[in-house]
């Protein structure tokens, strides 16, 4: 029984750790459009952004003067916010595909 619980716990941890970036589209204030491919690139207004992974659940994508912050929730859904020029910042509306 103990081995079974350890295995189930390990498998649960692995599925969260390998979740990666989900497929989604988001609209941010200031006419900023964000698109992410499943497990891959993030695009800001149609241009591929420079992606930095801080953990299995937190990423930042930089493109031009905009930084997109992506947090992956435990259920796999994304929370997206942005920071732009002149201290502009806010929460983006996410549409999952």
90: number of Cβ within 10 Å: 13
| Domain edges within the chain | 2-96
Question: What pTM did the predictor assign?
Answer: 0.77
Q: What three-state secondary structure class fits 67? A: strand
Alpha-carbon torsion 17, 41, 53, 29, what sign? negative
User: Do the bridges between strand 32-36 and strand 42-44 make them parallel or antiparallel, or are there none, so unpaired?
Assistant: antiparallel
30 vs 96 pLDDT, higher one:
30
72: number of Cβ within 10 Å: 19
Q: Which residue has the tokens 């992956």?
A: 72
Write out pLDDT tens, residues 28-74.
Answer: 999 999 999 999 899 999 999 999 999 999 999 999 999 999 999 99
Residue 13 has pLDDT above 50, yes or no: no
């Amino acid at each position: 029984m103990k081995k079974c619980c350890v295995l189930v716990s390990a498998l649960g941890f692995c599925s969260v750790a390998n979740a990666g970036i989900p497929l989604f589209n988001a609209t941010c204030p200031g006419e900023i459009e964000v698109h992410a491919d499943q497990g891959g690139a993030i695009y800001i207004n149609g241009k591929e952004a420079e992606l930095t992974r801080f953990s299995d659940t937190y990423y930042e994508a930089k493109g031009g003067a905009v930084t997109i912050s992506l947090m992956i929730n435990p259920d796999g859904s994304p929370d997206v916010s942005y920071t732009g020029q002149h201290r502009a910042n806010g929460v983006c509306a996410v549409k999952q595909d």
